[in-house]
Amino acid sequence: MSFQSKTIANALQELNTATFVPAIQREFVWTEEQIIQLFDSILRDYPIGSLLFWRVRGDLAQEQIKYKFVQHYVTDPVHPENLGSVHHRNPEVEDYEDVPNGIQLVLDGQQRLTALYIGLKGTLTTKQKHRHRTNPSAWDRKQLYLNVLSDPNEISDDDLKMRYEFEFKTDPEISEDEYWYRAKDILELNEYDGIHDITEEVDAELSERDIDHPSQWKFINKNLTALYRAVHERSLINYDEKEEDDLGKVLDMFIRTNRGGTQLSTSEVLLSIATAQWANGNGADAINAREEITEFIDDLNRRRQDAGFSFDIDFALRNLLMCSDLPTSESVRHFNQSNLQKMKQTWTDGDKLQKAVRNAVDLVVDFGLDSRSLTSRNALVPITYFFYINDNPGLEWSSGHEEISAREEIHQWLCTSILNGTFSVGRGAIERARSLMQTAPAMTFPGDEIHRELRSDGRVSRFDRDLLELQLDGLEYGSRKTFSFLSLLYHPGPARSNTRHDVDHIFPRDQVDTETLVQDYGLDPVEAERYAELKDRVGNLQLLNENENRSKGGQSFLDWLESQDESYFEKHHIPQDEDLHRLENFPEFIETREELIIKDLLAKFGPEESQGA
């Protein structure tokens, strides 16, 4: 069938009634800025590309797994339930819902159509910066507005370079330079003459507020006319329609046509392939891979909101490939029919894989790591595999000797891997770790063996003095890897408890402040600045549990020491020399403590020849 076209207004009427999203499609991924740019483009009469529809009829139309376009979009899958009828993912069309005998499924153009749908018929809900996503008041539900007082002949001086001033807003105010017209209201106009009426209404309201803009009538009319014609008059939705019963060909068309725009990631392509393949089957054997995997990801992120994780499709598929004993490179060539069947069997083997992933995430959170300090999610995959091949043992801190031993091994291996960036590049390390775990005794995590194997190809996996000195010079309070470094210093302590530990300054930060050192301790400004530059080094950091940290508060180091016994010095690697406990000798304290730290870590985790020395 040749190319056809329709207006935006007509196209939107068909969304979720005769036009749907197929299961092989990805989620809506556009940003707020991309939506705004699309609206600017259509008002400027720029081409927005052609769309590709898949026409299905009869039984095929009824049987196809299909989704609705998102109308009220929330930008995060983890959000409070009381935000109303918002969706991050496309809601599925249920079996009981009536659909026409012939429908269109969008193979290319879903992002553009969804953006138009949100802007002209829906809402956009976003979280305010620096606020917790579980707090309902942290979220703003916004609609798209056009400032009809802006000059459409001027180009904005920001990166977007827009002519038409669109913004998503909650409750916009009127000012001398701003009158925000809600974009969705343009759909209520059935003819162009309505623009004149709206222009007069806006002009009258501005006059009532004593807002005088000499060019306001001209700008109002130009902006509203451009919006009306883009939505109602010009046939901007150009599309080709294909009829095809072979799902394999449809999948190929989808992948080929989605190489432009916001690029499909490899994991999105693979999820589409799995969705098409797993849907083949009768009754209970047919699985909606997209629904199953995205729901699992959302549940996983909600489960550990305290750690701030945002796991994605890529993470789920990598764990699935790992536990299916398949290459983890996520190359499309690996997704043949045989491998897809293996993955399906792994996914549907009770809840074994899903539980292994949850156990791995729970364990690293137990260790005190979060989305910021777990610098590579690849490092989680071997831990998932350990749980999977050992039938998901309980590794609680109060478990038996065998479980505690495994817990300690995983803790040591994980923190060392994070510090050395073992899994930050490539996936070969994951597969080699899997091979070693396959031959290890039951309930044994072969951390040392994995490190030894990875050293053979030049990866850094243990510590020597030079590397530790580099770590101490590069890490400081607030660095992403600092918690892992300190965790190793206190190993196996953090692995043996479920107590949260905080990173604490030994000499309080506000006491090692340049102004304080000059005024209270008589240091000259240059010397005081040198002291202050040392306050966030690892040598001035320790791990305290919540009770200890609360008890210490803002006490000086000398005051804190009065309540501590000898075990404190050994546990926290504190120099015994009392002169070093005084703030005047702070640089010497840092130097001495960091040397103690190096010796301790070399003894525990250095080259084999240095251990026990």
Bridge partners (DSSP) listed for residue 53: 106, 241
More confident: 93 or 494? 93
pTM: 0.81
Specify the pLDDT at position 611.
54
d(Cα 189, Cα 206) in Å, to the nearest integer? 22
- Is the pLDDT at 381 greater than 90? The verdict is yes
Phi-psi region of 26 (alpha: psi -120 to 50; beta: other; left: phi over 0): beta
- Arithmetic mean of pLDDT, 554-562: 90
Contact yes or no for 220/202 (Cβ under 8 A): yes
Specify the pLDDT at position 281.
61
More confident: 209 or 380? 380
Specify the pLDDT at position 255.
81
Sign of dihedral through CA atoms 334, 338, 339, 344? positive
d(Cα 142, Cα 571) in Å, to the nearest integer? 53
d(Cα 61, Cα 102) in Å, to the nearest integer? 6
pLDDT confidence tier of residue 359, bands split at 50, 70 and 90: very high
- Is the pLDDT at 428 greater than 90? The verdict is no
The residues spanned by each domain of the chain are 4-243, 265-462, 470-610
Helix H, strand E, coil C: the string for 113-181 is: HHHHHHHHHCEEEEECCCCCCCCHHHEEEEEEEEECCCCCCCCCCCCCCCCCCEEEECCCCCCCCCCEE
- Is the pLDDT at 610 greater than 70? The verdict is no
Residue with tokens 């050994």: 570
Candidates 609, 313, 307, 363; CA nearest to 498 is 363
Contact yes or no for 318/381 (Cβ under 8 A): yes
Here the tokens at position 316 are 């789920």
- Is the pLDDT at 321 greater than 90? The verdict is yes
Here the tokens at position 114 are 């969804």
